[in-house]
Amino acid sequence: MKSLFAAPGGQEEINRIAERLVTVCTTMGELPYIRSGTSPVASSLASAVNKKLRDLSPDARGQLNKGGDRALLLILDRTFDPVSPLLHEFTYQAMIYDLLPITDDNVYEYTFDNGGDEVVKKVLLDEHDFLWPKLRHLHIADCINRVIEDFNTFIKTNKAVKLNRGRKELTSLKQMTEAMKEMPQYQEMFAKYALHIRMAGDCMDKYNGTELEKIALIEQDLATGKGPRGESISKVFNSVQEILRDPSVGPNDKMRLALLYLACYKDARSSDKDKMIEAAGFRGKEVELMESMAALGVSSKRRKPHRKE
């Protein structure tokens, strides 16, 4: 973000992005109509893409679609919506990437006890995992229920398993774990269930141990400007400060909440920022990040925060 929104180096980054977009256009055989947001970065990128498309050789341009059904390339930057990346989302995939140590290659690494020995295991989260496509877009509560339902369905439709387990239906993740220990012959399949049991459980542990529910309610108040029942909110800044002072809340969650406040209330008093920095105990790069929010040039239309202090 810094290379895009702060000089020097911004134009160099814009040229790199423009080159990649032109490569996409030529690969698809499109000479698109180009539209952009009103921010300086989006406008600059749109101009750079347009210039690079015009500078293509006649042969290259001749391969592109110039008809009335040309594609539309819409260029926006983060100033268009600075709020969404800061909000906590509680679908399964979002929580996994937010709360668990997932690498850029979609690999989840964890340790487990194997008969007294600690074993490190790495798993790839992709479509080869038959549960992953079913679960990733579900709310975390629905995800846990879906894992249990799928497991019960497997037991009911497999005669050998049904004989071992009888007709008793499982209702919890703990019961599933115990059931899998009784059926080692299905180890590979159960490993997938065990993986998602573990990840869903870890997500819920993080959720319950870091005041995420309380934080999420404040985030929604900030993002919408209204309470859960549509009522006007008051003392929202006090609620933010309360979270920032809470020692059980991690520094990343504190930073996200503080940035969210600044993104939602562009007319907030400059003293609000200083009070949030003090309440959270931000230092060094954390303070710099708060200051850098202005580099985005956020132009939220949100009114000033309600105050009853």
| pLDDT at res. 71 | 93
The pLDDT tens digits for 229-262 are: 766 667 788 899 999 999 989 899 999 999 999 8
Collapse the DSSP code of 81 into the 3-class scheme (helix H, G, I; strand E, B; otherwise coil) and give the result.
Answer: coil
| Predicted confidence (pLDDT) at residue 123 exceeds the cutoff of 70 | yes
The pLDDT tens digits for 136-173 are: 999 998 998 898 888 788 777 766 555 455 556 666 66
| Predicted confidence (pLDDT) at residue 32 exceeds the cutoff of 50 | yes
Average pLDDT over residues 296-306: 51
**Lookup result for tokens 């690999």:** 107
Phi/psi of residue 102, nearest 5 degrees:
-95, 130
| pLDDT at res. 303 | 47
Q: Alpha-carbon torsion 91, 93, 94, 99, what sign?
A: positive
Pairing of strands 117-124, 107-114: antiparallel
In the chain, the percentage of residues whose pLDDT exceeds 70 is 78
